[in-house]
Amino acid sequence: MIEKNIHHMEAFMASLKRKNFLVDERALRKAQRILRAKTESDAVRQAISLVAFRKAVMRGYDRAAGKFANFSVMGEIPKGRNANVSRP
């Protein structure tokens, strides 16, 4: 079990890249508190992951709302540009 965790940690560390940037200290502390992150670095990593997750969720909402022309629900043709196309 310990060996598995070590390999997981090595793979995780290999995917990281060192960055140097300026950040608002108050915002960082607030994010760290909200995310319950143990370190500032962990807070930044979690926040970045949340942004990527939000993008995926919003894309799903857009598809569910029919905002993509190639998206159809149970054979229905979305309203808009393709509305005059006959159904098979």
Domain annotation covers residue 40: yes
45 by DSSP, 3-state: which?
helix
Whole-angstrom Cα distance, residue 14 to residue 37?
21
Domain annotation covers residue 53: yes
Q: What is the pLDDT of residues 5-51, one digit of tens each?
A: 666 667 767 778 888 999 999 999 999 999 999 999 999 999 999 99
Domain annotation covers residue 59: yes
Domain annotation covers residue 19: no
Contact between 38 and 51 under an 8 Å Cβ cutoff? The reply is no
**pLDDT value at position 62?**
84
Question: Which residue range is the domain that position 51 belongs to?
Answer: 24-88
Domain annotation covers residue 6: no
Q: Look up the pTM and report it.
A: 0.55
Domain annotation covers residue 68: yes
Domain annotation covers residue 16: no
Domain annotation covers residue 78: yes
Domains held by the chain: number: 1
**pLDDT value at position 16?**
81
Structure tokens at 84: 């005059």
Report residue 69: phi and psi, to 5°.
Answer: -65, -30
